[in-house]
Structure 1
Amino acid sequence: MTKVELYKSRVFVTIIHLCALGQFAYGLYYSNFEIQRSYKLKTSLHRRLVPETLPQKIRFLAYWSLIIQALYYIVSLANDFVGTNELTPKRPPAIRRFKDWLLATLAFPVALNVGVTFWTLYAIDRELVFPKILDPVFPSWLNHVLHTNIVVFIVLELFTSYRAYPKRSTGLTGLAIFMGSYLIWIHIVKHYSGVWVYPVLEVLQLPQRILFFAAVLGFTFSLYVLGEFLNNIVWAKEVKLAKRKSN
């Protein structure tokens, strides 16, 4: 079965969206309601290192990414039932246009940013992002939902569902607003708490932190371009057809 045939299979696409939404929604539920009830966490001397309240969780980009993924698959399921999965509809409904914009601008680049950055730093020195003392109190499956599965499912989505990318300037502007807001947010948290959200920032001097933030932004923007490039390669025929219809 080719990618186009998979795409045209409403059942297949809907199952993928249901599986993705199910685990991301459960991840959000568990991190908000169940992890606090864990006996291991309640009796651990290191429970202060595990974010328990919503204000603590929203300090982390991984948590924002999980929310974005859950939102994307909610929108995708709504599009499956009340929108359209046609490759190049003449008049795509608003839900389809929003779905396409959300994947291109936020869901794909932010997910890959979180996954690649986390596991790269983890491989260099895991104490900078996920200290060993968290292993007994933070479920490994939830760690993978936050940092692994978001990448797996969004890449799978890229290869099984065609989307019309927005103008690059529009997409990058939306991504820049989101990432800029997040960087401002973690500086606000540092100002009031006196502690950086990520341990890696504690070991960097000011010039190094500036370079680090610039590298993160540059990397994230490059992931947007990568998503657009892969979409144009995987769905080359559909992209050409869409361009003809718009002319």
Structure 2
Amino acid sequence: MSVKTLCHLFAALHFWFGCYYDWNYVKIPSDVHRMGSSFGKSGKLKFLTFWDALLQAIFFTICFVNDLIGTNEDTPKKIPLIRKLKDLILPCLAFPLSMFVGLTFWAIYFVDRELIFPRALDNFFPVWLNHVMHTNIMIFILIELFTSYRKYPSRKFGLSVLSVFMLIYLVWIHIIYAYSGMWVYPILEVLNFPLRIVFFVGLLGLSVGLYVVGEKLNAAIWNKQSHVIKKR
């Protein structure tokens, strides 16, 4: 196996294990903090962090399978389905969501961690898992962006996929609130209705901005490398 293939395998197993451990072993008593509540039996699926970790696990699994049976050529004559999936998931979801989850989590954490990851959770949610879910998601996806070529889809298509995903999650947390009477994230408890609207619009704008950043960064990296190759 090549180094890239081994890295993809490690990343996939790393995120699968993180999701498995979180789902099966992280049990926060509801009397310790209400974030441990079932929230209408939604379990870990109430958190965007868990959605994103699952997405990263699936994405890097696809990358690994593509290494084995697909192709990593810059301009292959025939693009296999597994390569098409890989090239669509990163720009549309994997990159913007990983950066969104990581940046928003740590930004709120450093301002007031009680609004996103209260201290009461420290005894139940290990530090290493916190970094798997909120730090490594950014590190691995940036490594992938810098080491593997992909052609970005049209901006209209990419932003449409991302926006639909974010809106689905937004509807989901409102469904949970309707059934449980509690917001998934403590920060939503301290915002009144107008401020929640501003907050949600701002987050949607941030996700769109991160998509564009990924698109620009990909173009800068691979156009530059293509120029160097042609010059040689």
TM-score, normalised relative to structure 2: 0.92
Which of 96, 104, 108 is residue 109 of structure 1 equivalent to?
96
Which consecutive unaligned segments of at least 5 residues does structure 2 have? 228-232
Structure 1 equivalent of residue 171 of structure 2 = 184
* CA distance, structure 2, for counterparts of residue 94 and residue 45 of structure 1: 48
**Structure 1 position 128, deviation (Å):** 0.1
Residue 170 of structure 1 aligns with which residue? 157
Alignment match, 1:26: 17
What count of residue pairs does the alignment treat as equivalent? Answer: 226
Q: Give the match for residue 63 of structure 2.
A: 76
Task: Specify which of 121, 131, 143 is matched with residue 130 of structure 2.
Answer: 143
Note the residue ranges of structure 1 that are not aligned, 5 or more in a row: 1-9, 241-247
| CA separation of 1:47 and 1:125: change in aligned 2, threshold 3 A | closer
Paired-residue identity, %: 49
> SS of 1:85's equivalent?
coil
Matched, 1:133 2:124: no
3-state DSSP class of the match of 1:89? coil
* Rounded Cα–Cα distance in structure 2 between residues aligned with 1:227 and 1:158: 8
What SS does structure 2 have at the residue aligned with 1:235? helix
CA distances 1:28-49 after superposition (whole Å, capped 9, x unpaired): 111122334xxxx67x952653
* Moved beyond 4 Å, runs of 4+: 51-54, 237-240
In structure 2, the partner of 1:218 is 205
Q: CA deviation at 1:50?
A: 3.3
Choose which of 17, 23, 26 in structure 1 pairs with 2:8. Answer: 17
Amino acid at match of 1:33: N
RMSD: 1.9
TM-score (norm 1): 0.86
> How big is the shift at 1:76?
0.5
Q: Using the alignment, how far apart are the partners of 1:189 and 1:198 within structure 2?
A: 11
Task: Say whether 1:46 aligns with 2:32.
Answer: yes
Secondary structure of the 2:102 match is: helix
Worse overlay, 100-109 or 83-92: 83-92
